[in-house]
Amino acid sequence: MNTTIADQNIDERSALSKLWTNREARSVILQILTMAALIGFFAFILTNAVANLAAVGKTFSYDFLSTPASYDINQSLIDYTSRDTHLRAGVVGLLNTLLVAICGIVLATVLGFILGVLRLSKNFLLNRISYCFVEFTRNVPVLLHILLIHGILVHSLPHPKVASTEYNFADLFFLSNRGVFAPKPIMEPLFWATIIAFIAGIGFTMWFKGYAKKVQDATGKIYPVFWIGMAAVLGFPIIVYVITGMPINWDVPEFQRFNFSGGMVLLPEFMALWLALSLYTSAFIAEIVRSGILSVSHGQWEAAGALGIKRSRTLNLVIIPQALRVIIPPLTSQYLNLTKNSSLAIAIGYMDVVATIGGISLMQTGKEMETMILVIAIYLVISLIISSFMNWYNKRIKLVER
């Protein structure tokens, strides 16, 4: 019979090839093979690592973190001396990374939005200037920006002695090749009242925004939320500050025989890194902003006009929410890039986390494996935090569709 021949045909094939033709069985086999290859690979490199470490007489441990670092760091946000531990040196480096990343993100966003809007301006000159700046900035490596700006700051700005007279802004700010010197605020105990007032102002504004929306939904009356909020967040703390007798003293830098003393200093390394990262990233943000605004079709303006919405409110209620939906995801990756690029600090000697833990601590202790794993883990955590925050924000501003 025909069926028996067919059955024989099937039976002639081995059990393995039968399994292979079955879709589900095949996917299980493939995954087992992948898993095996992966485990084999990790086993291979781990045994190699153990054998190699044993051969040079090293152990894998993080004990070195609690031993004295015995090197100096020229900029630190917390107290640090060379007698402190490697762990504390790493924390100082991490804070420096975060400082330059946050400052950079703020400046890059502001500059990027300005440049992006100028790129769309009808004014021919402004449009072209913005275009040239964006194209030149983003087509040059960021490391080159950092080195160039650092070179300009160190070689072109004068020595403090000259700076104290020529690059002197109202006896408060001084530009010199040892950094930018500025007055340093010293807070008196009563200043806490101003901080509390500021926080209370923010809290009030958030409550008032909800209240105003409720009133608008119920009665259609619109409160000037922005101005009342500004008064609460800025005006109220200023009044408290004045009433409590202006409890801030300014420590103004003064030139003494060789250098400035007092005040606070922004080192050329920090300035160069901050400016270079901000300029470089702002060029990318400008393009993102431009394409985001262009992505909202002109019909949206016309539709809002047809509904009788004022032009200023059209921007707030119709255009910006839709443009932000396009702008936010690539903006997140630019923030991440800026944070990752801050690791180039090591090229000019700004003491960030790569330069402290992954640089000098590595050299001093010879713990390549431990320090590099630590640095990589820190960057992964920062990346995860930024991207999860931006994902949350992205979800919040997403337009609700049918």
Partner 1 sequence: MSDITQTYTPGTHPDMPPPVGQRGIVLWLRTNLFSSWINSLGTLIAIYLLYLIIPPLLDWAVLDAVLNAGSREECRAIASGACWAFIQDRFSILVYGFYPAELRWRVDLSFILLCVALVPVLFDNVPYRKPGLLFSIAYPFVAGWLLLGGMGLEPVGTDEFGGMMLNTVVGVTGIAFSLPLGILLALGRQSHLPIVKSCSVCFIEFIRGVPLITLLFVASTMLNYFLPPGTTFDLLLRVLIMVTLFASAYIAEVVRGGLQAIPKGQYEAADSMGLKYWQSMRLIVLPQALKISIPGIVNTFIGLFKDTTLVLIIGLLDVLGIGKSSLADAQWNGLSNEVYIAIALFFFAACFGMSRYSIYLEGKLDKGYKR
Our finding on whether 57 is near partner 1 (CB under 8 A) is: no
Nearer to partner 1, 37 or 206 (CB): 37
Q: Does 362 bind partner 1 (CB under 8 A)?
A: yes
Residue 390 sits in the site that holds partner 1 (CB under 8 A): no
Contact call for residue 62 and partner 1 (CB under 8 A): no
Nearer to partner 1, 48 or 81 (CB): 48
383 part of the interface to partner 1, by CB under 8 A: yes
- Selected from 19, 25, 38, 196, the binder of partner 1 by CB under 8 A is 38
- Of 66, 81, 82, 121, which lies in the binding site for partner 1, with binding defined by CB under 8 A? 121
Q: State yes or no: residue 39 binds partner 1 (CB under 8 A).
A: no
Q: Which of 98, 129, 190, 294 is in the footprint of partner 1 by CB under 8 A?
A: 129
Neighbouring CB atoms inside 10 A of 111's CB total: 18
With contact defined as beta carbons under 8 Å apart, do 365 and 352 qualify?
no
Q: Who's near 266: CB < 8 A, 6+ residues apart?
A: 179, 180, 182
Count of residues in the chain: 402
Q: Binding to partner 1 by residue 155, rule CB under 8 A? A: yes
Q: How many CA atoms lie within 13 A of 54 on its CB side?
A: 6
Residue 136 as a binder of partner 1 (CB under 8 A): the answer is: yes
Does 142 help bind partner 1 (rule: CB under 8 A)? yes
Size of the site for partner 1 (CB under 8 A): 53
State how far the alpha carbon of 351 is from the alpha carbons of 38, 117, 386, in Å. 37, 35, 22
Q: Which of 126, 294, 309, 326 binds partner 1 (CB under 8 A)?
A: 126
117 binds partner 1 (CB under 8 A): no
125 is an interface residue for partner 1 by CB under 8 A: yes
Minimum Å distance from CB 227 to partner 1?
22
Residue with Cβ nearer partner 1 (259 or 383)? 383
Near partner 1 by CB under 8 A, which window of 6-14, 222-230, 253-261, 335-343? Answer: 335-343
Q: In the bound complex, what is the minimum distance in angstroms from residue 21's beta carbon to partner 1? A: 11
Burial-class residue 256 by CB neighbours within 10 Å (0-12, 13-18, 19+). Answer: exposed
Q: Which is nearer to partner 1, 144 or 246 (CB)?
A: 144
Q: How far apart are CA 335 and CA 352, in angstroms?
A: 17
Amino acid at 51: A
Question: At its nearest, how many Å lie between partner 1 and the CB of residue 261?
Answer: 28
Which of 25, 43, 45, 172 touches partner 1 by CB under 8 A?
45
Query: Binding to partner 1 by residue 278, rule CB under 8 A?
Result: no
By CB under 8 A, is residue 347 in contact with partner 1?
Answer: yes
Tokens found for residue 386:
């930024």
**Does the footprint of partner 1 cover residue 144 (CB under 8 A)?**
yes
Contact call for residue 143 and partner 1 (CB under 8 A): yes
Instruction: Rule CB under 8 A: choose which of 53, 212, 266, 309 binds partner 1.
Output: 53
Q: Which residues bind partner 1 (CB under 8 A)?
A: 27, 30-31, 34-35, 38, 45, 48-49, 51-53, 55, 121-126, 129, 135-136, 139-144, 147-148, 151-152, 155-156, 336, 340-341, 343-344, 346-347, 354, 358, 362, 368-369, 372, 375-376, 379-380, 383-384
